[in-house]
Each structure stands twice: as structure tokens, then as C-alpha cells.
């Protein structure tokens, strides 16, 4: 199994624990991730003000993936969503494809429909499969309970993402967590948005969106909250202290990436999975893995 | 509100933008507003109200409103809409028109300049690559040339790490 890795802007600079654990888990599961240094931004940051150029930038990445002949697999949900939307839009609007190709021609690139774009977590589920992942587990995590945060762009728009989750009742992260033997807490605010999309425009508003979920999880005694997106991480881990301060309270919600949980179940060590870089550390979990 | 002050062409202008056509299908049920997590925290932000103001032709009021920049782009409205308006996309169309008329927040210009300068949003220097190599991760590079060509922007002068003007 081979896929082209789309790292995006944030993960390779700010979320090395996510990248490291994703690469290690893929290695153990027999997935070869191909790197291409010329892949960079997906175009998402420009969409709100200049969607024509955002689309050309996304099409550039799609054209590069096509040249590799590989599925394009992203770690960031915003990248995965933006690229999937661009593929969908361009495949259904030949006039838009013609325009972006005129802009890509001087770069020696050509977009053509048919590139498969997905999030790494969905790739693991759909291409490796839950049974194969379960069969590789060597360490039982049944003493732990994890609270998944699916985030928005991992699930929606459903008509473009195309499953496997129902965005109003998602299960895919829970299934992967359960593959390690761990329990899943599907808490009431499971589907809440992290607010990361408005952090730049209104910090208070973003903080109140993330804060409601943090307050709920703080009271539920989960081992950790589990993420699949670096933007959600900015809110739940990076902003956790600032949000608590604004709400005049204290939170201790450990935050981990799904690939770190899977990695522990697959027999990798906390060091190999980059847990040293987690700031809201899952102390109970790490204590169990002290050698 | 005087009807004479409204611009009946505004809805057509929005509908002509990519993603904007859905506005024609809205029958004002407010499912979007009910499901919106931003509206739940900031009642002044109301997707149905933005749609109605647009359909009425309150062009300047919509384009100059700071509220249109508060969408978290969670797409919840689209999942519950019985008319497939796709409000997130409709609002993107509205924001794009607003940006062309100078209403975008200052961060928008900085984003384009960062991409032209770095080819990515966050700068990558030796510091980042040393950290990566210490963890056994391959280096990442800044290759802004394609982004400069696409955006038609030359990177601004300035010290590394300084925010472009």
C-alpha cells in the first residue's frame, strides 16, 4: 500500500508528535508514505477572501498527486477537506478546470479529474481495514477511556467526503480506538466545533466554542481527548490554559492524537510516538508505559 | 427599511460566484440558524438573517458587516438544510465579494503575502529542520515560486521572520 503524504503547513512545524506517530503507525501497518517536497499549502487559508486562487493552489496539489499516480493522504482535516472539495468542484465544473489549467500550465502541471483525496484516518480504515489493524495489536489498552473529537472537516460536507461516517452520528474514530481494547466515551458535546476557524477573527468567540467541550470533558475523567486535526489541537491543547483563564476555571484535559493511541496498541513506545511533545500530557497513560 | 435603498441585483451577484447559487433555494426555515454553533454563542450571527438581507438586496449592510467573518466553516448548516442551500459556500461567495471591495480583515492580505514569500503559512528555517532531524523526520522546504506565479505577488522585502507588509 502506497500513498502520497500531504503534510500541509501546520503539522510539519507545530505538530511533530502527530507526524511522527502517523509515520510510525503506517510503517507498522505496511503503508508506504511517499514524500514530495514541492507539496505545501492546500489553499484553505485563502478561501474566505479569494477562492479562485485557493482553488488553483489546491489544483496544483491535485496535479502533483496525479503525476505520482497515488492517492493524496492528509493529516490535517482542513487540508483533506479543502483538497477533496477542490477535486469535487473541478471534476464537476469543466470551465473551472480549464481556468486553473491555464494558470498551472506555466508551472508544468495539469489537473485532470480522478485524484483520490482522503484523510489518513479514513485511509487506514478503508485501505488497511479494521480487522488487519486489530490483528497487529500487541498491547491491550482496556484500562483506558478515550474521548474522540472528530472535528468538522473530517466529516463534512458529507456529500463530498462521502463517508464512512454519518456526520450526525460518527463512529470511525471510536472503532479505531476500540481496536486497541480501550473504551470510548461518546460524550454529549461530541459533535461540537473546536472554533479554530474563527480564532483569527474573534478569540473570545473561538474560546467559548472550545471551552464548552473542555469543561464537559474535564468533568468526565477520560484518559485523554483524541484528535485528528492540527487546527483542533490549536484550540484544545494550545489554547486550553488561556480558555480556562477566561472562563475563570481550571482544566486538566489531556490531549493526544489518534495515531499516538493506535501506536501504543501496536507496541510502539511513547518516545517513538512523540509523547514528549504533548503539552497537555496524558499522565495516567504515560505512567502505564514507564519501562 | 425602504425598498428603494435595496439592490435587487445583489442576490444575482452572489449566485453568480462559485458556491453562491444555493441562495436561490432558501425558503427561510432557519434550520441553519438553529444548528449553528457560532450563533449559539453569538446570537447576532444568524445565517438565515444574512441570507434574507442578501435576498432583500441590503448590499452594503451585508458586505460591510463584521458578522460575515465569524463563520467557523463547520458545515453543520449544510448538513441540516432541506434545500441544499450550502450556506458555508454561499457565505464564502459573499465574503469574496466583500474582500474585493476592501472589507476583508487585515489578516487576509498577510496570508497571501506569507504564501508568496514562503510557499506555506508557517515559516520553515534551519531551526525547524534541526528539530525534525532530531526526531528522525525528513526536512521540509520552502518553495514559494509556484505560489508567487499563481498569486501574481512578489515577496515583500524584510528580514526573515518579519511579517510582510
pLDDT over 50 at B163, yes or no: no
Higher-confidence residue: A154 or B158? A154
The CATH number of residue A160's host domain is: 3.40.50.11810
Distance CA A95, CA A104 (A): 14
Residue pair B78/B86 in contact by the 8 Å Cβ criterion: yes
Question: What pLDDT sits at residue B157?
Answer: 55
C-alpha cell at A230: 492540527
C-alpha cell at A18: 502527530
In a domain, A183, yes or no: yes
User: pLDDT band for position B4 (50/70/90)?
Assistant: confident
Backbone angles phi, psi at A138, to 5 degrees: -120, -15
Write out chain A residues lying below 8 Å of B135, CB-based: 16, 20, 274
In a domain, A187, yes or no: yes
In a domain, A6, yes or no: yes
ipTM greater than 0.90: yes
B90, containing H or E segment: helix B87-100
Domain match, A107 and A222 both: no
Domain match, A145 and A229 both: yes
DSSP state of A45: G
Domain match, A158 and A82 both: no
Question: What pLDDT sits at residue B164?
Answer: 43
The domain boundary residue, chosen from A120, A147, A164: A120
Domain match, A191 and A229 both: yes
| A285 Rama sector, left if φ>0, alpha if ψ -120 to 50, beta otherwise | alpha
Distance CA B143, CA B133 (A): 19
Distance CA B118, CA B115 (A): 5
Domain match, A115 and A184 both: no
Write out chain B residues lying below 8 Å of A210, CB-based: none
For chain A, the domain total comes to 2
> Range of A219's domain?
137-288
Q: Across all residues in chain A, what is the average pLDDT?
A: 97
Domain match, A20 and A156 both: no
A60-91 pLDDT tens trace: 999 999 999 999 999 999 999 999 999 999 99
Chain B nearest C-alpha distance from A168 (Å): 8
Domain match, A99 and A141 both: no
The residue of A84, A201, A211 whose CB has the most chain B CBs within 10 angstroms, and thus the best one to mutate to test that interface, is A201
User: pLDDT band for position B3 (50/70/90)?
Assistant: confident
The CATH number of residue A38's host domain is: 1.20.1050.140
Residue among A50, A184, A115, A268 at smallest CA distance from B112: A50
pLDDT over 80 at B118, yes or no: yes
In a domain, A177, yes or no: yes
Question: What pLDDT sits at residue B20?
Answer: 98
| Chain A: residue whose CA lies nearest to B115 | A41
Asked if A266 is an interface residue toward chain B (Cβ–Cβ < 8 A), one would say no
The residue of B66, B91, B97, B121 whose CB has the most chain A CBs within 10 angstroms, and thus the best one to mutate to test that interface, is B121
The domain boundary residue, chosen from A120, A150, A176: A120
Domain match, A191 and A112 both: no
Domain match, A167 and A274 both: yes
Residue among A243, A237, A85 at smallest CA distance from B18: A85
In a domain, A178, yes or no: yes
- What does the pLDDT average to over B53-76? 97
The domain boundary residue, chosen from A92, A120, A148: A120
User: pLDDT band for position A221 (50/70/90)?
Assistant: confident
Distance of CA B115 to the CA centre of its chain: 16
| Chain A: residue whose CA lies nearest to B135 | A20
User: pLDDT band for position B109 (50/70/90)?
Assistant: confident
Domain match, A164 and A113 both: no
For chain B, positions 71-110, list CB contacts with chain A under 8 A: 71-76, 78-79, 86, 88, 92-93, 95-96, 99, 104-105, 107-108
pLDDT over 50 at A177, yes or no: yes
CB A13 to CB B41 under 8 A? no
In a domain, A125, yes or no: no
Domain match, A143 and A266 both: yes
Domains of chain B: 3-100 (1.10.1060.10), 107-151 (no CATH)
Residue pair A216/A200 in contact by the 8 Å Cβ criterion: no
Write out chain A residues lying below 8 Å of B71, CB-based: 197-198
Distance CA A249, CA A111 (A): 51
Distance CA A195, CA B15 (A): 27
Residue pair A223/B127 in contact by the 8 Å Cβ criterion: no
| Chain B: residue whose CA lies nearest to A151 | B74
In a domain, A131, yes or no: no
In a domain, A128, yes or no: no
Domain match, A56 and A172 both: no
Amino acid at each position: 500500500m502506497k500513498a502520497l503524504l500531504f503534510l500541509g503547513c501546520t503539522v510539519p512545524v507545530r505538530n511533530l508528535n502527530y507526524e511522527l506517530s502517523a509515520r510510525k503507525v503506517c510503517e507498522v501497518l505496511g503503508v508506504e508514505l511517499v514524500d514530495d517536497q514541492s507539496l505545501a499549502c492546500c489553499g484553505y487559508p485563502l478561501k474566505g477572501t479569494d477562492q479562485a486562487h485557493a482553488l488553483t493552489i489546491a489544483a496544483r496539489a491535485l496535479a502533483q498527486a496525479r503525476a505520482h499516480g497515488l492517492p493524496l493522504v492528509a493529516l490535517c482535516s482542513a487540508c483533506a477537506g479543502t483538497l477533496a472539495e477542490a477535486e469535487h468542484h473541478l471534476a464537476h465544473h469543466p470551465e473551472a478546470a480549464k481556468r486553473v489549467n491555464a494558470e498551472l500550465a506555466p508551472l508544468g502541471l495539469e489537473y485532470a479529474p480522478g485524484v483520490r483525496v482522503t484523510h489518513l484516518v479514513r485511509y487506514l480504515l478503508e485501505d488497511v481495514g479494521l480487522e488487519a489493524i486489530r490483528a497487529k495489536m500487541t498491547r491491550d489498552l482496556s484500562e483506558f477511556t478515550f474521548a474522540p473529537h472528530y472535528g468538522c472537516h473530517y466529516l463534512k460536507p458529507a456529500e463530498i467526503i462521502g463517508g464512512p461516517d454519518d456526520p450526525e452520528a460518527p463512529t470511525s474514530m471510536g472503532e479505531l480506538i476500540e481496536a486497541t481494547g480501550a473504551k470510548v466515551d461518546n460524550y454529549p458535546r461530541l459533535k461540537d466545533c473546536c472554533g479554530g476557524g474563527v480564532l483569527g477573527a474573534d478569540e473570545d468567540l473561538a474560546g467559548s466554542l472550545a471551552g464548552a467541550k473542555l469543561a464537559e470533558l474535564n468533568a468526565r475523567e477520560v484518559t485523554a481527548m483524541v484528535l485528528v486535526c492540527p487546527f483542533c489541537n490549536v484550540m484544545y491543547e494550545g489554547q486550553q490554559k488561556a480558555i480556562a483563564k477566561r472562563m475563570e476555571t481550571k482544566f486538566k484535559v489531556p490531549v493526544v492524537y489518534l495515531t499516538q493511541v493506535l501506536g501504543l496498541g501496536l507496541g510502539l513506545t511513547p518516545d517513538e510516538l512523540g509523547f514528549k511533545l504533548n503539552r497537555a500530557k496524558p499522565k495516567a497513560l504515560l505512567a502505564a508505559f514507564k519501562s | 427599511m425602504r425598498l428603494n435603498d435595496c439592490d435587487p441585483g445583489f442576490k444575482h451577484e452572489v449566485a453568480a460566484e462559485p458556491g453562491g447559487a444555493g441562495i436561490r433555494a432558501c425558503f427561510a426555515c432557519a434550520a441553519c440558524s438553529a444548528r449553528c454553533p457560532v450563533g449559539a454563542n453569538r446570537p447576532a450571527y444568524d445565517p438565515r438573517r444574512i441570507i434574507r438581507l442578501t435576498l432583500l438586496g441590503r448590499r452594503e449592510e451585508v458586505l460591510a458587516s463584521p458578522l460575515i467573518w465569524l463563520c467557523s466553516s463547520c458545515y453543520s448548516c449544510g448538513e441540516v438544510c432541506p434545500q441544499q442551500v450550502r450556506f458555508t459556500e454561499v457565505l464564502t461567495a459573499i465574503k469574496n465579494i466583500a474582500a474585493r471591495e476592501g472589507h476583508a480583515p487585515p489578516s487576509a492580505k498577510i496570508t497571501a503575502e506569507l504564501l508568496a514569500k514562503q510557499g506555506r503559512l508557517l515559516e520553515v528555517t534551519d531551526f525547524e529542520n534541526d528539530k525534525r532531524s532530531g526526531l528522525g523526520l525528513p526536512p521540509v522546504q520552502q518553495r514559494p515560486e509556484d505560489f508567487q506565479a499563481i498569486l501574481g505577488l512578489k515577496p515583500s522585502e524584510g528580514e526573515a521572520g518579519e511579517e510582510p507588509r
